[in-house]
Every structure is written in structure tokens, then in C-alpha cells.
Structure 1
């Protein structure tokens, strides 16, 4: 755990650097040099910066990016990997959202933050990188009836978006990763650069219990099943690699790019009609609820990259959504798309605590050497695993296939504070379990017509009974895993609410008290076949029933991947950039 002195120092850094803005970024809408651009990108997050980079490669395109958040430059918590948790749960660099009371979690209200800074959530997440299994993408292709979204056809975009680099300590990584399955893109990926006390125990346990917990050399191989060394978006100097550092920072001086920050898009305005479809090429924005409204026009397209929460909010405020619901709250419907804001999917995560027999402590070498524990994200090993058929109780398998997990285990050498407060004394490890093929479906709905008011967020965690069964199976799998010989004499007891649960019913009850979000919301503007009556965007990510409007972010996922979502967002954005280039070049 960080000391109070360290925490105070960190937040002083955050406040100091949030106040400073690079001269290449606009902070005053009145100072934008023009009001017409070829492309207006809304959101400079994970996907938006990919779009900005790839579209401005063509010098004939003029591009404006509008971002609600602040500059990432100099914000320590977005640079030092181990400090990622210090940006949660409330911070000036976050959308400090909360959910509605969760029926499946005994009506608890959860923090539901997203990044409000250049780089978006790629600047504040816990950096775990997984591209997803081949089965995940092949399921997408089947659902949307377009093989362009198959694993084989998306592989070039995975390879184009990221690349493997040496870890911060430059140790020999043989046996920890397979370089053959990696690409040559701008996002830097590495294995942990500082070992923890439990890394070898996890891997050795996998070898000992290989029938149930097989070792997987590289989770990016297309088959995610097994125990692996974590791969993080961390460069060889022990710094976070985000979409801001990988895609945006190096192109801010391109003459065909303008970036406006600290400014929120309030709605999209219809600018005409063609072939009986409304044209949405005017973007309205402001810096406060009561402040003046400004607008710019896209000659070609508006590209929404504001994420699973903000994208449906902007669509609904613009008259795009369920017509009946929009009328009820006083918004004139323009395009009737009932699935806007629906089908919200996320991964519920739960902490399992164990008391351990160790006195090892963390050090803080990063500040002076760029080495030490702080070069790592909070966990060094993980596993994606499947449940036995008996757990499914005859229900259709919710996973994409045998290469995709039902649940994930993430190992942390310390007490991960989630739903339970850190104990005053003692030494602990945490094994987090997440349901990565959830059946529960939630929603994003408007709470107000004020664009500066937060919408209602309901991920509906554990409302599907199958999700509860999978979480119970995951907890029992963790307990089985730590019976392996490497843990003997090291783990002394279970701890916390979950530690006291024994029967399936008790584990389920403790899960409802302990589940939080892993911050992977997707699918609120889901992709579907072009002629389907359901969904929000077609397979080229154009908003159905409109002209000039495209969505590129995690909201378009037809189904949530069984893995961490930042990698798939990069892949989707790279794919989308080529769609746009082929259409407008």
C-alpha cells in the first residue's frame, strides 16, 4: 500500500500538471482557426487518437478532435504503471460516474469511472493487454454476417496496432512470451519488469495442475485459455503506453490536425437530408452547462469515439434512439434506433484474499531509476479458464468458443482494495476473479436533457443466474489452485467476507457483496447486419438511418470479448480508419 505522504505527493503532481496545457492544444473554442473540417472526431480516447493519427496521414484531410478532458502530459498517475490505482475512484482526470443501485448486488451503487483526459481510459486503466481470442472475433463476424470482422481478417489490424518491447529491467523473457505472435504497431507491450514474490508460485502451480490450469505461453496467440505472464501497455522505460503517447503525441504538429480539449460535445445537429436520411455533420459543443454553445461542421463525417457511456448519451441528446423514450423526456426523435444505450455488457470482478507468511515490502525505485516495482501494473500473472459443462446447467454456452474463457483470475502480490477496505495490519495476496463471458445485460439511459448531467448507468451485474454460477465456480477454482505445493507454508488462511464463505450459496451471497466493475463496458451502440432491424451501426460502423455519422469505440462491439477491452478497441479503430480512407480517398 502507498503511504499517505506518497499519495499526497502523487495528487499534487496530478493537480499541477492538469493545470498545464501544451501549446499545440486549443483550450478556448473561440480560438479554433476554422469552423469546417473534413472530419470531426469526438473524443481523444483510446479509439479517437487512432483515428486522428491515421486520417491525418493523408495531408489532404483536415481533422478536428474535440476532447472533454485535460492534457495527459505530466500527469504522474498516467505515466507510472503501479500508480494506476491512485486515479480511482475519484479524480480530476476521470468521469466520476456511479451506477444506479445494482439489483444483482444487493442494491449496491458502484463507482463507474472512465478516463477524462487525452488517451481516455487507455490513460487510466490498469494496462493489462489482451487482444482477445480468435473465437471472439469469429463470433462477431457470424453475428453481423460479415467476414471482415473475422479473426483472420482482423489480424493485420492487431499487428498494426501494437508491438512487443523488452521489459523495463531488460531480463530474458524466454518462456514468458512468444514474439512471433506480436506486431509492429505504436502501442508498446511488455511483460512485467519487476518480479514479485508470487510470480513463480503461480507459474509452477500451473505446471503442477496442468490438466485444470494449463500454462499458456502467450495470451495473444488467438487462444487465451490457461495461466500466463501478464502483458501490459508499458514501454521499456517503465512508462504507460496509452493512445495519447502512442498515437497522438507525435502528430500534434501536423498542420492538418487541430485538437480542442476541456470542451464537451453537447449534441450533433441535423444539417440536411438526403435519400430520406438525415445528415448529421454539425457538432455542437460547450465548456459548461450554462456556457455559450459553439459548432463546427464536418465536410465528410463526424466520428463519435466517446465510449460506451458517452456515445449513446450524445446520440440520444441528438434525437437518435428509441423514439418513444425520447419523446417522453422532451427530445424530438429524428432517427428511431431502440438499441441505442441498450445491451450494456461488462465484466464483474471479485477479490479473493489470502493471508500469507511473508514480510516482503514494496520499494519505490521508479522515481530515480525508472526501475523497481513501480514499472509494473498491479498484477504480474493471470489466467483465462473455462467451467465444466455441469456449471452451465444445460444453458447455451455464453462464451465465444473453446479458445475463450468463462472467467479470469488475476494475481496480485498484496491487498487489492475493491469492495473491502485494506486491513490495518498483516500481509496478503489477492486473486481477483472476473466473469469474462457474462450473460447479464444492462443499459445507459438519459437522466436529463442537460448534456453535462451524467446518464443513468446500469451494468446489471449478476442479474443473470448463469453469471452467479460462473463466479462461484471461479472462486472454487482459485481455492483449488492454491492447494498446489508452491503455496504450502506461504498461504496461511483465507481472509475477508469471501474467505468466510464455504457453501455455493454462501459464496454467491459474498459475491453480491464483493463484486465491482473491472471497467470494461461495451456494446451500447452495437454493430449488426446492414439490413437488420436491431443494432445501431452497420458493419462499416455507420449509424443506421443517418448520413455522415460513424461510431468507433467499444460501444459498437456486438458482444463483449472474453478479455481486457483496450486491445480490441485499438483493433476496431485501425480497421475503421481503413474503411474511412477507402471511402474518401
Structure 2
């Protein structure tokens, strides 16, 4: 009998060790109790999953609501990034509430519904922001660990700088001293030259006062025009799914990822250390499947993003008690800051007609050209499809003598921080192309306000955990924001320009702040500087929602580095 039990045990162990790490149904998991349960296999969640399972004694389950990223061509091919949203299976397909200051328009608000989260659907820009941004985080949280200098080791743990797809000489296009070549997530410069590249750089020599050249805008001093760095390796998108859940990591027996597992709520599991504990998670087993529960012996890590994280907290009874009661949810933890303080970059696409035919429109209009380009990418990972939508971006401050700052304080984090960004593109890359452009070709300089004063919110109006949240970025509700956007565009008279902005502004899709950090003991904010939810045991938040203010840059780099440090904070606790 003893030998039989041993034999059965060996068979079970063997079966568990052979299970695929990434599965689609609960029946394919060895169980539903783990040391750590991570909600969201996105930009931050996969970092945490990777780093925690470096210790073979830690078991980790990742619950991802979306689909697999495997073999999704539009996610793999960098140039196809605009095809992933909106209205696809890879997007949550959220929309905003009508925006009062954008003439009542409702905006699409893409978020990744795919393993890798938004890192699998974004435009791949790797921009850290300024050193001032992170030093401000350190001041706001009273934790020096979030400062620029203290985070440098984590930038290097994340980044693996790789040669561009065409292997051209990159001397003068970036500064190797500020980068790592041994991290996990691939970052590279553009691998296919665009006709406008030389003209953009020429502008920095002709107008150096207004548009100075900056060899590396990720150095901490971001100001100027420089070459775009993107999360691309070998001509293919590098997401948190392809990097942190890469082949060398998914072999780990202590890591499991469950797809199609949409979380309904966190379950109150009693009290611990004088606070309510939340160590169970209720989720769906497959699309439309029954609800199951997973339990964390140590911690639940909420990494559902700046929309999903506050949505789950509110549906779990964690938020403003009055608001929760109003929609029929029993309040368990009164945290009024949940879902508040939404900070995002308003964004306007500015187009100019050009007489060139060598623009992105050619690829999207000509089926023969498109097929040849795809074949070249498929066979050699070369050609125009190896890059995203822009080879250059610029980071500009509003001049000191501008009247804006006679009326309002400077909203930037410091003197090395831009007020607005230029995203410079060789045409329109988003398909389908607008029907009213005929056979015209375009040069595009999109502008984004990097230092928004406006704040929005994520709220709910139903006790149904699967009803979409109410997303209100509240764009341009503060006068400094539209003033800075006006300075960024500077192409028409004041009154006309304001109306143009209100009719055309949308989101850059960089939401943060909805579960913001604040000092330990502060009565505002959602998490302490160690990212533990205030007044709660067993629950931590690791994603862009914890950033108190949006950085002056695309947010994926900041999200990666916050997750890297968070992983060390969690390890230190256990």
C-alpha cells in the first residue's frame, strides 16, 4: 500500500510538472491555492510573475482576462500596431463618458485585452520621462526609493538594448552609458529609414534654440528632438508576454498563467494584523464560464491597470463608502481616493499635405506593396514593417516668457521636464484611412500635453462586476492644459485654435493615478510607498494606477521600472 501511494504521488507530481504554464481553463491547473495570485498578465503583472518565481519556493498564479498573444500577427509586426485597437478582440473596447471640454465627444479608450496587456497593443515607445518626474514621486511619497537615481538599477534590470533590425550604425543616435544590454525587455532604435529622417535632424541644426538635438532623451534630461527608442527586438514587438514570459521563463514549474479569467472581485477573508484581509479572488473560468475562487497564501497582487484596478477594488467594497452604498455594494474599506486622480495626456493629431508619395499612405493603399512588405518582414524581419509609426519624437518646454506662467504655476516636475511632446510621423498609419483624404499624402506632427493639471475618475454605476466602468479623463478641464496645447500647435489664431483642439483632442492612452501612492499614514491615496493597500492586509497594487501623476513620457517604461522595484519589495517581505 505504501509503495502504491508513492507511485501515485510520483505520477501526480509528474503530471503537474508537465502541465503547460499558460492554460485556458481551471481544469488544466494543479490547483487554486498559490503563494501569490496576480490579477492581470499585463505590463506590470508579468514582471512580478517572473521575478517572484525566480525563487523556486514561491508558487504564482496569474489571472489574465484576455486572450493569448501567441501568433497574433498584428501584435508581432510593429508597423501593424494601429490595427490592434479599437473594436477588436485584443482591446477591452472601453469608451469615455461625454467630455464636457471636448464639445461633448465620447472617446475610444483602448486597453489591452490580451496577455501582455497594453504592452501587447501599444505603439511601443520606450520613453522614461525626466529625472524630475521620479524625484517628484519620491517627494510625494516620502520614499527616496522612487527617485531617479535609486531606480536606475531597475531600469537596467528591465532593458535589453538591442541593435536595430537593419543593424545600421547607431553612433550619435543614443548614448550607451544610459542603457543596459543585459535586461529582459528588448529596446531598439528604428530599423528602417524614413524619407523625413534627415529633414527632422536638419531642423535641429537650423532652429537649435527652439528644437535642439538630444542624442538620448532617456538620459533623464529629455528636452529636445531625438531618435525614438521602442520596445522592439529583431524587428518584432517585445511585450511583457514575449519577454518576461519568454521561453526560458515559462518552463518554471512554480508559475501558471490562466487566460480568459476575468476577475469579479476580491474576497474578504477575515482580519490580519488588525486590518481586513483580502486573500481570495473570484473570477470566471473561461469566457462566460462559472465563477471560481483562487486563494493566495501570502499576497494578492492587483495588476489590472489604471482602469481595471480601481474597477475591481470598487466591486470588492473598497472605495468611497457613500458611493458604494449608492450602487448597492456593501462597503468594506473606506478609501475615497480609489478611482480618483485619473491623470492622462491629451493628444491632437496635426496633419500637413505633402507632395511626396513615399509616405505611410502608400503601404496602406497599395495591396501589392503591402504584400511585398509583409513577405519581407516574414522572411527576413526587414523593411518598413519592423518599426512603429514614428522614428523621432521631441520634448519641448513652453518658453519662459509665455503668458501662461503669468497666470498659472509651472505644472511640470522640474526644469528638465517637457510641457509637450511632438510625435513625428511620415504619414497616416492608422487603417482604415479616412475616406476624405483622396490620394493625398501627409506629414504628421501629433502633440501631447505632458503636464496635465486636469484630473478625471473611474467610477461605477452598477453592482454587476462585469459592467464596464465609467471612464472620465476630464480632458482640458484646467485652463493650463489647453494653453499648453495651444502653444504646442501654434498654427492658427487663438479662438480658432481653441475650437480645433476641442473638436480634435483625444487621449494618448496613458492613464495613471487611480490607485495613487501617498506617504505612509496619509489619509489620502490608495497605497503606501511599498504599494500595500492602505488599511488592508494581503493586498498590494503594482501597475500604472499607483503613479500619483502621469510622467512626461509614454508610460510603459515607468510601469516596467515600478514593477521591477515592487518585485524586490515583495521579495523582501517574504
SS at match of 1:269: strand
Residue of 506, 519, 523 corresponding to 1:533: 523
Would the aligned equivalents of 1:312 and 1:524 in 2 still touch at CA under 8 Å?
yes
Aligned residue in 2 for 1:6: none
Would the aligned equivalents of 2:449 and 2:485 in 1 still touch at CA under 8 Å?
yes
Cα drift, residue 166 of structure 1: 0.5
Cα drift, residue 386 of structure 1: 0.5
Would the aligned equivalents of 1:435 and 1:471 in 2 still touch at CA under 8 Å?
yes
Residue of 542, 549, 553 corresponding to 1:559: 549
1:577 has 2:574 as partner: no
SS at match of 1:342: coil
* Pairing of 1:147-546 with structure 2 (within 5 A): 147-183=144-180, 184-235=182-233, 237-250=234-247, 251-287=249-285, 291-360=289-358, 361-362=362-363, 363=369, 364=373, 365-389=376-400, 390=402, 391-417=404-430, 421=434, 423-476=437-490, 502-546=492-536
Aligned residue in 2 for 1:91: 88
Taking a change above 3 Å as real, the CA distance of residues 122 and 57 of structure 1, as seen in their structure-2 partners, is same
Would the aligned equivalents of 1:419 and 1:514 in 2 still touch at CA under 8 Å?
no
Cα drift, residue 289 of structure 1: 8.8
Would the aligned equivalents of 2:82 and 2:431 in 1 still touch at CA under 8 Å?
no
Cα distance in 2, alignment partners of residues 98 and 156 from structure 1? 37
Would the aligned equivalents of 1:410 and 1:431 in 2 still touch at CA under 8 Å?
yes
SS at match of 1:94: coil
Cα distance in 2, alignment partners of residues 460 and 92 from structure 1? 27
Q: How does the TM-score come out when normalised to structure 2?
A: 0.92
Cα drift, residue 394 of structure 1: 2.9
Cα distance in 1, alignment partners of residues 153 and 288 from structure 2? 46
* Pairing of 1:93-108 with structure 2 (within 5 A): 93-108=90-105
Cα drift, residue 393 of structure 1: 3.3
Of 269-278 and 208-217, the range deviating more from structure 2: 269-278
Structure 1, unaligned runs of 5 or more: 1-21, 480-501
Cα drift, residue 262 of structure 1: 0.8
SS at match of 1:428: strand
Of 290-299 and 306-315, the range deviating more from structure 2: 290-299
Structure 2, unaligned runs of 5 or more: 1-18, 364-368
Give per-residue Cα distances to partners, 1:53-100, cap 9 Å, x unaligned: 000000000110000001101000111000000112111011110000
Cα distance in 2, alignment partners of residues 240 and 419 from structure 1? 22
SS at match of 2:294: strand
1:80 has 2:80 as partner: no
Give per-residue Cα distances to partners, 1:447-481, cap 9 Å, x unaligned: 322122110000111111111000000002xx6xx
Cα distance in 2, alignment partners of residues 400 and 420 from structure 1? 37
Cα distance in 2, alignment partners of residues 524 and 287 from structure 1? 27
Taking a change above 3 Å as real, the CA distance of residues 419 and 141 of structure 1, as seen in their structure-2 partners, is farther
Cα drift, residue 558 of structure 1: 1.1
Cα drift, residue 418 of structure 1: 10
Cα distance in 2, alignment partners of residues 321 and 67 from structure 1? 23
Cα distance in 1, alignment partners of residues 144 and 433 from structure 2? 45
Of 336-345 and 285-294, the range deviating more from structure 2: 285-294
Cα distance in 1, alignment partners of residues 542 and 390 from structure 2? 29
Cα drift, residue 113 of structure 1: 1.1
SS at match of 1:454: coil
Cα drift, residue 417 of structure 1: 4.9
Cα drift, residue 400 of structure 1: 0.4
Would the aligned equivalents of 2:25 and 2:286 in 1 still touch at CA under 8 Å?
no
Taking a change above 3 Å as real, the CA distance of residues 179 and 264 of structure 1, as seen in their structure-2 partners, is same
Cα drift, residue 30 of structure 1: 3.5
1:65 has 2:62 as partner: yes
Give per-residue Cα distances to partners, 1:85-143, cap 9 Å, x unaligned: 01121110111100000111001000001001110000000001111211000001111
Taking a change above 3 Å as real, the CA distance of residues 456 and 350 of structure 1, as seen in their structure-2 partners, is same
Count of aligned residue pairs for this structure pair: 538
Cα distance in 1, alignment partners of residues 414 and 342 from structure 2? 21
Cα distance in 1, alignment partners of residues 497 and 259 from structure 2? 46
Taking a change above 3 Å as real, the CA distance of residues 457 and 319 of structure 1, as seen in their structure-2 partners, is same
Cα distance in 1, alignment partners of residues 75 and 431 from structure 2? 20
Cα distance in 2, alignment partners of residues 290 and 244 from structure 1? 24
Cα drift, residue 36 of structure 1: 1.3
Cα distance in 2, alignment partners of residues 35 and 376 from structure 1? 41
Of 286-295 and 397-406, the range deviating more from structure 2: 286-295
Cα drift, residue 324 of structure 1: 0.6
Cα distance in 2, alignment partners of residues 507 and 367 from structure 1? 44
Give per-residue Cα distances to partners, 1:483-512, cap 9 Å, x unaligned: xxxxxxxxxxxxxxxxxxx21111111011
Cα distance in 1, alignment partners of residues 486 and 431 from structure 2? 18
Aligned residue in 1 for 2:40: 43
Aligned residue in 2 for 1:547: 537
